[in-house]
Chain A
Amino acid sequence: MTPSFLKVEGLARRFPGPAGTPGVTVFEDIHFGIEKGEFVCIIGHSGCGKTTILNVLAGLDEANDGLVIMDGREVRGPSLDRGVVFQGHALLPWLSALGNVAFGVRSRWPAWSAKQVEEHSTRYLEMVGLGPALHKKQAELSGGMKQRVGIARAFAIQPKMLLLDEPFGALDALTRGTIQDELLAIVQATHQTVFMITHDVDEAILLADKVLLMSNGPGARIAEIVEITMRRERTRNSIHHDPQYYRIRNHLVDFLVNRSKGYADDKMPDHDPRQPPVVRPGLEGGAETLPLPARTAPVAASIHPLKNLSA
């Protein structure tokens, strides 16, 4: 087997306790891999260290143990190879939407002329449907629009990998749905490799190729890797007609509610954190052998301009 595009090996993060007391191990023995063009979601309860893992992948935080290898190189410090969409969008409020995207573009291609930078940035803002709002500042943008600018900023630097930290957590359900569709279309068109944190089971099923399930912290592990065994060209409107949808959904919810506890301190002798079991809900028996989705389905997804800009 060829090594994965991104490989995480034995990652652990410990926070020192107050003087004299033992520290807290948020997570340890984290192993997983992400293939090129794959969309991976990570799900787990609060406090299991999802954001810390993402920050380590981004290079913003350092792990106490283990290493991250991307494209054959160890990840050390932040890099333009990995675009980050922050939880709180993190736009620079004194810059316009265009200015925020251009800020990253200028850094990625320092030799470009101002015109090139502007054209490139404009193209990515139009991709997320913000063509009419190029020159608006953060205060004039709605929550959904701000997060779209954040997504455009991350895509515009054409990173090898995109890291999304609960990007839709603060949005209302309607807006979230619209942006999920847009993200799906862009990712399918660009075959972008994505690692995303979410709390939303449905969001994970809609977007991901596989879902990493994290057990509860402290001492969190990757408990299971769930493959989303549905056609890649799924949409929010049709997804629940697929019988697989409910099997996967039940499996994920069941994990979060009943089975996410008790993985710490090697209480599960059968569980090997180096090789977390890969689960295909509904297909374990092998009775129903639906064809697995091709990894990078060639989709000529046209990117729809926003139907509802005020969202």
Chain B
Amino acid sequence: MKPSRPWLAPLLSAIFFALFVGIWHLATLPTSAAVQVDPEYAALVGQAAATGTKSAMPTPGEVGAKLWEHFRDPFYDKGTNDKGIGTQLAFSIGRVLLGFSLAALVAVPLGFVIGMSPLIYKALDPFIQVLKPISPLAWMPLALYTIKDSDISAIFVIFICSLWPMLVNTAFGVANVRRDWLNVARTLEVSRLRTAFQVILPAAAPTIMTGMRISVGIAWLVIVAAEMLVGGTGIGYFVWNEWNNLSIANIISAILLIGLVGMLLDTLLARLARAVTYRE
């Protein structure tokens, strides 16, 4: 047997990371060669064009400094368009959790009913099949028009995109509970309500949790786009705002944090899923 080297994979990760940062650094080094500048352009932008060497793409050092700046003071508030990145993330996470929770409140009971009744399953299936593939952002104008509140519209979009995976998974899990287990409950004269909560729910829980994990992943993808549209607050709005400021360092910082928060949400639900998983 090969000796186990648990440090090998992290070491490789570190090497890959160093390589990536190194290439990035080399690619963004200021070029010292004189650049031919269109005199008219130079007249427009002045000094910067004359030296013309610095691109807007930041070096890793600059991004690092920016991140450090954000970490030191994540929750400052200097008016509508200048809030700390922590505040913005909190707004986004809040919207995702609210929309996601509302969706869970609807999808799990409804999925239960659909899964228990083949008739309702067949009756609702065409609607679900048509509604499921609609991009959640396509609902945005309709939401804005009917709800007339951009903040609630964003939450609605999260709601609608988290709904389907949970609904479909719950229905599937409930419909596929082992016949034997239901027969056990029947021969023991267990009431329907107790059967639902003590047999069907635990039996379908892993499938339901899988649906929730997919949902929260999609919700976190969609919130960035939704906030770019509705504006005001949130990490998506922050990214768009920094694009208007042409602060690429801020955008890269935000991208990194979006990834980290997404990973965190997924890990959280994976933990929950493990808690309800049973081995056969």
A86-B199 Cα distance, complex, nearest whole Å:
17
A108:B188 contact, CB within 8 angstroms: yes
Set of chain B residues within 8 Å of A86, measured between Cβ atoms: 180, 183-184
Set of chain A residues within 8 Å of B189, measured between Cβ atoms: 78-80, 107
Binding site for B on A (CB under 8 A): 58-60, 77-80, 82-84, 86, 88, 90, 92-94, 103-104, 107-108, 137-139, 157
Chain B nearest CB from A73 CB (Å) reads 15
A72-B280 Cα distance, complex, nearest whole Å:
40
How many A-B pairs with Cβ below 8 Å? 61
A139-B202 Cα distance, complex, nearest whole Å:
16
A103-B278 Cα distance, complex, nearest whole Å:
17
B183:A90 contact, CB within 8 angstroms: yes
Chain B nearest CB from A238 CB (Å) reads 35
18 A-B pairs within 8 Å (CB atoms) are namely A59-B186, A59-B187, A60-B186, A78-B189, A79-B189, A80-B189, A83-B187, A90-B178, A92-B199, A92-B202, A93-B280, A103-B190, A104-B188, A138-B278, A138-B279, A139-B278, A139-B279, A139-B280
A107-B193 Cα distance, complex, nearest whole Å:
12
- Central interface residue in A80, A83, A103, by most chain B CB within 10 Å: A103
Does B267 make an interface contact (CB < 8 A)? no
Set of chain B residues within 8 Å of A90, measured between Cβ atoms: 178, 180-181, 183-184
Beyond known contacts A78-B183, A80-B189: 9 more, CB 8 A cutoff: A60-B183, A60-B187, A78-B187, A82-B187, A86-B183, A92-B199, A103-B188, A107-B194, A108-B188
A66-B178 Cα distance, complex, nearest whole Å:
29
Chain B nearest CB from A81 CB (Å) reads 9
Set of chain B residues within 8 Å of A84, measured between Cβ atoms: 183-184, 187
Does B198 make an interface contact (CB < 8 A)? yes
A266-B202 Cα distance, complex, nearest whole Å:
50
Chain A nearest CB from B184 CB (Å) reads 5
Which residue of the partner chain, among B181, B187, B198, B199, contacts A58 with CB atoms under 8 Å? Answer: B187
Which residue of the partner chain, among B183, B194, B278, contacts A93 with CB atoms under 8 Å? Answer: B278
A94-B209 Cα distance, complex, nearest whole Å:
15
Main secondary structure of the interface of B (DSSP, over half): helix
For the complex of A and B, 4 pairs with smallest distance between CB atoms:
A139-B279, A90-B180, A94-B278, A78-B186
Which residue of the partner chain, among A78, A79, A94, contacts B202 with CB atoms under 8 Å? Answer: A94
B187:A88 contact, CB within 8 angstroms: no
Set of chain A residues within 8 Å of B194, measured between Cβ atoms: 107
A139-B88 Cα distance, complex, nearest whole Å:
46
A91-B191 Cα distance, complex, nearest whole Å:
18
Set of chain B residues within 8 Å of A93, measured between Cβ atoms: 278-280
A60 (CB) vs chain B CBs: closest residue: B183
A107:B188 contact, CB within 8 angstroms: yes
A79-B189 Cα distance, complex, nearest whole Å:
6
- Central interface residue in A58, A79, A94, A104, by most chain B CB within 10 Å: A94
Set of chain B residues within 8 Å of A80, measured between Cβ atoms: 187-189
Chain A nearest CB from B37 CB (Å) reads 71
Set of chain A residues within 8 Å of B198, measured between Cβ atoms: 103
Set of chain A residues within 8 Å of B184, measured between Cβ atoms: 84, 86, 90, 92
A104-B180 Cα distance, complex, nearest whole Å:
15
A90-B202 Cα distance, complex, nearest whole Å:
15
A60-B182 Cα distance, complex, nearest whole Å:
10
Chain B nearest CB from A9 CB (Å) reads 22
Chain B nearest CB from A78 CB (Å) reads 4
A92:B181 contact, CB within 8 angstroms: yes
A157-B278 Cα distance, complex, nearest whole Å:
26
Chain B nearest CB from A154 CB (Å) reads 9
A214-B181 Cα distance, complex, nearest whole Å:
29
Chain B nearest CB from A52 CB (Å) reads 14
A80-B185 Cα distance, complex, nearest whole Å:
10
Set of chain A residues within 8 Å of B276, measured between Cβ atoms: 94
Set of chain B residues within 8 Å of A79, measured between Cβ atoms: 187, 189
Chain A nearest CB from B27 CB (Å) reads 53
Set of chain B residues within 8 Å of A58, measured between Cβ atoms: 187
B191 (CB) vs chain A CBs: closest residue: A107
A82-B188 Cα distance, complex, nearest whole Å:
9
